[in-house]
Chain A
Amino acid sequence: MKIGVFVCHCGSNIEGTVDTAAVAAAAREFPGVAFATDTMYTCSEPGQEEIVNAIKEHQLDGVVVASCTPRMHEQTFRRTVERAGLNRYLFEMANIREHVSWIGKDREANTNKATDLVRMAASKLLHNRPLLSKQFDINKRVLIIGGGVAGIQAALDCAEGGLEVVLVEKTTTIGGKMAKLDKTFPTVDCSCCILGPRMVDVAQHPNITLYAYSEIEEVSGYVGNFDVKVKKKATYVDWDKCTGCGICMTKCPSKKATDYFNEGIGKTTAINIPFPQAIPKKAKIDADFCMKLQKGKCGICAKVCPSGCIDFTQQDEFVTEKVGAIVAATGFDLFDWTVYGEYGGGRYPDVITSLQYERMLSASGPTGGHIKRPSDGKEPKNVVFIQCVGSRDKSVGRPYCTGFCCMYTAKQAILTKDHLPESQTYVFYMDIRATGKNYDEFTRRAMEEYNAKYIRGRVSMIYPKGDSLLVRGADTLMGTQVEVDADLVVLAVGAEAAAGAAGLAEKLRISYDSYGFYMEGHPKLKPVETNTAGVYLAGSCQGPKDIPSSVAQGSAAASKVLGLFSKDKLASDPQVSVVDIKRCIGCGKCMKTCPFGAIKEIDFRGMKKAEVIETVCQGCGICTSTCPQGAAQLQHFTDNQILSEVNALCQF
């Protein structure tokens, strides 16, 4: 084999701490290396041309590029060598940027290390073989998990693009957090009025199948051909018959059920439709509060229901959907603020969350849009907002900024003044982060036109004083302590990963960060992809996002899916396992350990042998490390390829 080695300067990113010319010079001595040079930017057009020209000029049949991580540019350079007529797998990369130049400043050690990494890559390359992909059929249906605004957008865009969409929502209605909001910033649009029509579109679109009150039980398969088992949780109401008339709700005698949609402000009936614009508008019985299900007595709803849809014996039901791509749009949950003892830890009824306040402001909410203190139902005069509750606070394990609380707090301050012109609002803040279009103007308006008093500082204590609350905090700009008499305190509670996000990630085989937010494929260049082919992200499941960003991501994920499905067949990754039939003794250990069922038993002249199903194999290599005689070999990561790297490194 004649190998060409290209050592990239990456401007000064690598050259700054690695003597690339010395690495190239050392590489010329390695077995098989016929050509070696250092280049300024290997990934640039002239850089790639240099590779193409060198392949032609020196009749190279293998290329090593020493530059950044293969996770960045392996595909780029594979295409480059392919342009020059080589098979794309006759290429290896040595990561001398992320793993060398960026993590140490010792030029001698870095140069030595970079040379080692090139030596490893060249050794491995000697064992590389041309690999060719196979084409396989795909199922052009998409599963969208989560019916918040991001999921709705992705579903509608995909459906409009002609795809069949399966939308799975874990609560009884789509709409997500946005449906709970009264208004949106910075336009102060009615949230439900702009989201409502989209929700109706989802319900009416012929390409969308909606499973509400359902969860993902199991995901198997791979890009193009996923099998997804969906659990339709028991609602005790036959949704095929339910018309959403709501008579059951008016008659239900159990009126103390937790009102999840209204964030626990007030109570609701055991049989319930969460809000008038719910999609699907179907009733569900909360089994914990239903007298019939708990004690066997009652059943009034069944008697009054005009369509006879109540079914107390209903069980969870499972359906399997075959899809080719999956969009996770599972959103976020609110941080549990009761860990903060200084805010009362949940003891004071008049300390509420921003989302509870939002329900209170909403005309369809439990108070009919009137701001009332939960303790005595009186209108508050002084309303104190505290920002960064569970954001930017290492002490509670939430060092990140949720990013949208500054804005909704400004909005709520404005709305408070609209609802109660006599009121005075105070906002305790750390910094104001208002970086969107028209955002800073909006917070200014809250201060200047609506007279919200912004106090830069944290609150150290809230305690009851008479029938109101005393809020004590610091004003760091004035360098003084401040005390405010508050009739109502609203906490701008931060976002955290949705409950169950980690469990779903495991089913989808995608990664998540230490807070439970899903990892995108690349922080800059692949914001809605994941590292699992065919699985995409939209909205706050990837990190807290406001509405326009979530919608943008929903559309972006949809365009990725539409792009994926624009081809009739996909090319399989040829980095799969192959069984050497001569070495195989048919013991079946590989079949036992393969997580994908990608190895089948065949009969070869009366002997049992193993055979890999190429399009099912995902290339993990468990079989290779299981097979004692080395008959199963993962292509591109064969025993010999890894051993040659080991031998290249351990020469003493």
Chain B
Amino acid sequence: MKYQQELKDSIRKALPGLDVVIAWSAGYDPLHATPHFIRREEDIDRLEIGPFSVHNLATYLPGLRGKKVGIVVKGCDSRSVIELLQENLINREDVTIFGFPCTGVVDQTKIRKALGHTGKVDFCQIASQTVVIGAGGEEHKLRLSKVLADKCFSCQYPNALISDHFVGEKISPSAQTEGGDDLEAFENMPLPERFAFWQKEMDRCIRCYACRNACPMCVCRDHCLAESRDPHWLSQEDSVRDKWMFQLIHAYHLAGRCTECGECQRACPMDIPLLLLKKKMNKEIKELFQYEAGVDPEATPPLLSFKMEEENIKEREW
């Protein structure tokens, strides 16, 4: 990543005033990055940004409230930071934001499917539009566009929307404005099929709550309704009804707040298309309230406000 050095310099300058800076470093194999907590100067060298910087680090911010935190954000991550600021879940003066122009991150599920095995990965090289992966003595050449996350194709905010230090040149958003093929395919599904589709998908849920834990907007943490008896919304049973209901609670609690970072779907070990659900819901919210979450730090989420006369709500003649 060409701005990496510039970013490191920028962090080095700011580090003395901060408790920690959250970024990424190389993970357990060449295909993975891992969140990287920079506390000392020497930690800076291990920082790496690039197509494997998939994690939305904003998820860590509410838990670090009260500390002086630096955070490196992609465009999509910055929206989560804005949303957290909007809801007073973090304090602006405590957060130092480092932004860079993001050209897209990979979808591990797609790589896994392309590779066809999950053995040890020896190396990975990315040159312009091609990814070369060496695994099990073989070399796999993949087109980058085949393994980029879906959300990157329709990305409207590749540059951080909010930052104290921005490295590199801002790039223009993707030409594709619609939500992608999956959304279109879903919208063409008749209702009974949708009902069956979600039942099938949700039935695979193992209630690990990885989706929730990865979500930057799931700030209830230890007090999630999913595991509470008072209030007792859900049983602890392994039934599709309770698993689906859990996802609906998650989705509804994100209504007008979800920034479509896709962490829920990325974290899901069962590959349940959770982002699809959120994308469709966000589309409805946008139509209803002309509102997009995580764009304006001064805005109020639509379900926490109202208008006496709503332009787009036609109270049916009931």
Contacts and interface: CB of A to CB of B under 8 A. Distances in A.
**Are A and B in contact, CB atoms below 8 Å, in the complex?**
yes
A628 B225 CA distance: 8
Q: Categorize the interface residue count of chain A.
A: 10 to 19
Nearest to B84: A587
Contacts of A628: 219-220, 225, 253
Interface in B192-237: 219-221, 223-225, 228, 230-233
A119 B300 CA distance: 41
Interface string B274-310: 0000000000000000000000000010001000000
A461 interface: no
Contacts of A589: 87, 304
Given A592-B304, A629-B225, A630-B225, A585 B232 contact: no
Nearest to B303: A626
B88 interface: yes
A589 B231 CA distance: 18
B85 interface: no
Contact of B233 (A587, A631, A643): A643
B220 A640 contact: no
A153 B210 CA distance: 69
B220 to A, nearest CB: 4
B93 to A, nearest CB: 15
A629 B228 CA distance: 9
Given A592-B304, A638-B231, A639-B231, A629 B220 contact: yes
A606 B300 CA distance: 26
B124 interface: no
Contacts of B228: 583, 629-630
B89 interface: yes
B300 A592 contact: yes
B193 to A, nearest CB: 23
B231 A587 contact: no
A196 interface: no
Interface core residue of B87, B231, B300 (most chain A CB under 10 Å): B231
B64 to A, nearest CB: 14
A526 B89 CA distance: 48
B304 A643 contact: no
A228 B223 CA distance: 41
A584 to B, nearest CB: 8
Nearest to B89: A587
A631 B220 CA distance: 10
B232 A629 contact: no
Nearest to A590: B304
Contacts of B87: 587-589
A628 B66 CA distance: 22
Interface in A181-240: none
Contacts of B221: 585
A25 B214 CA distance: 52
Task: Give the secondary structure class of A's interface.
Answer: loop
Nearest to A625: B303
B46 to A, nearest CB: 33
A12 interface: no
Nearest to A638: B231
B230 A640 contact: yes
A593 interface: yes
Nearest to A593: B304
Task: Give the secondary structure class of B's interface.
Answer: loop
B88 A588 contact: yes
A575 interface: no
Contacts of B231: 630, 633, 638-640, 643
A587 B217 CA distance: 11
Interface string B47-77: 0000000000000000000100000000000
A593 B300 CA distance: 11
Given A629-B225, A630-B231, A587 B219 contact: yes
Contacts of B304: 589, 592-593, 626
B302 to A, nearest CB: 12
A177 B178 CA distance: 64
Interface in A628-647: 628-631, 633, 638-640, 643
Interface string A591-611: 011000000000000100000
A208 B88 CA distance: 48
A129 to B, nearest CB: 11
B125 to A, nearest CB: 44
A410 B238 CA distance: 80
B234 to A, nearest CB: 10
Contacts of A587: 87-89, 219
Given A587-B87, A640-B231, A643-B232, A629 B224 contact: yes
B215 to A, nearest CB: 12
Contacts of A582: 223
Contacts of B230: 630, 640
A629 B230 CA distance: 10
Contact of A631 (B66, B223, B253, B300): B223
Contacts of B233: 630, 639, 643
Contacts of B220: 585, 628-629
Interface in B81-116: 87-89
Interface string A60-102: 0000000000000000000000000000000000000000000
Contacts of A592: 300, 304
Contacts of A630: 223, 225, 228, 230-231, 233
Given A628-B253, A639-B231, A639-B233, A585 B223 contact: yes
Contact of B223 (A626, A629, A639): A629
A573 B225 CA distance: 28
B23 to A, nearest CB: 26
A640 B219 contact: no
Given A588-B88, A589-B304, A583 B232 contact: no
Nearest to B306: A593
A583 B223 contact: yes
A582 B220 CA distance: 11
Interface in B222-269: 223-225, 228, 230-233, 253
A633 B221 CA distance: 18
A592 B302 CA distance: 12
Contacts of A585: 219-221, 223
A588 B90 CA distance: 12
A585 B221 CA distance: 9
A631 B228 CA distance: 11
Contacts of A588: 87-88
Contacts of A643: 231-233
A484 B187 CA distance: 72
B111 to A, nearest CB: 34
B221 to A, nearest CB: 7
Interface in B101-156: none
Interface core residue of A589, A628, A638, A640 (most chain B CB under 10 Å): A628
B235 to A, nearest CB: 10
A588 B301 CA distance: 13
Nearest to B249: A628
Nearest to A606: B66
Nearest to B225: A630
Interface in A476-516: none
B152 to A, nearest CB: 29
A248 to B, nearest CB: 42
A628 B220 CA distance: 7
Interface core residue of B221, B232, B253 (most chain A CB under 10 Å): B232
28 contacts: A582-B223, A583-B223, A585-B219, A585-B223, A587-B88, A587-B219, A588-B87, A588-B88, A589-B304, A606-B66, A626-B304, A628-B219, A628-B220, A629-B220, A629-B224, A629-B228, A630-B223, A630-B225, A630-B228, A630-B230, A630-B231, A631-B223, A638-B231, A639-B231, A640-B230, A640-B231, A640-B232, A643-B231
In the A-B complex, the 3 residue pairs with the smallest Cβ-Cβ separation, listed nearest first, are A639-B231, A629-B220, A629-B223
Interface of A: 582-583, 585, 587-589, 592-593, 606, 626, 628-631, 633, 638-640, 643
Given A587-B89, A643-B231, 10 more contacts: A583-B223, A585-B219, A589-B304, A593-B304, A626-B304, A629-B228, A630-B230, A633-B231, A640-B230, A643-B233
